[in-house]
Structure 1
Amino acid sequence: MKRTTALLPAFFLAALTSAVVPTAYVSADEKPLVVAQTSTVNINTASAEELSASLKGIGTSKAQAIVDYREKVGKFVSIDQLAEVKGIGAATVEKNRALIRLQ
């Protein structure tokens, strides 16, 4: 009996600590801090709003620069071409590569 009661506090402590889930609280006008990225975005057809919501490190001004570049130069033929947009470097392209599609 003594052994069982000694394990109960450890069991409850483990149950309580494993049930704690961190939550990010943001106001209604902010983007969520944690977003599950399960879908991709077509950089040849997406709006600036869609791009900024879907891509890491891309805010509204960089998203608009992508749209402006696309309208001036034409459709992107490779994901690496995204680095030609002013303000977007190779590191940003790499961290978003899995989220980007061309068609």
Structure 2
Amino acid sequence: MKKILPGLMLLTALSLHIPVAYSQSMDTDEARHNTSQSVANKLDLNVASLAELQTLPGVGVSKAKAIIDYREQVGPFLEVAQLTEVKGIGNKMLSKIQSLVKVN
């Protein structure tokens, strides 16, 4: 009995750690997939429609129109930070949406 107990303890310990390690590797793979997906799903400020721009947090009809008016009058956005030049969008708003938009 004394020889069996350490073996059972070892098997129990191993069986508890294998799912955790597997779960961690799955989380890492899933995080990589989500990151690549989020980059692909960013709105391009230079082609986004009025409806698409309104999906951004804090952007309603008037701010979406202001973004479109800006790109029509000034030209395409060269960088995301340029959004602060749009009426009604400041640094606080930019920090909320900059991870959701891109410029091509």
TM-score exceeds 0.5: yes
Partner residue in 2 for 1:68 = 69
| Bigger Rg over Cα | 2
Partner residue in 1 for 2:51 = 49
TM value normalised by structure 2: 0.60
Name the CA distance, whole Å, in 1 between partners of 2:66 and 2:98: 18
Using the TM superposition, give the Cα deviation of residue 74 of structure 1 relative to its aligned residue in structure 2, in angstroms.
Answer: 0.2
Partner residue in 2 for 1:100 = 101
CA RMSD between the two structures: 0.9
Unaligned runs of 5+ in 2: 1-37
**Could you say which structure has the higher helix fraction?**
2
Correspondences of 1:1-103 after superposition (within 5 Å): 38=38, 39-53=41-55, 55-103=56-104
After the TM superposition, which segments of 4 or more aligned residues of structure 1 sit over 2 Å from their partners?
Answer: none
Unaligned runs of 5+ in 1: 1-37
User: What SS class does the counterpart of residue 98 from structure 1 fall into?
Assistant: coil
Name the CA distance, whole Å, in 2 between partners of 1:65 and 1:48: 10
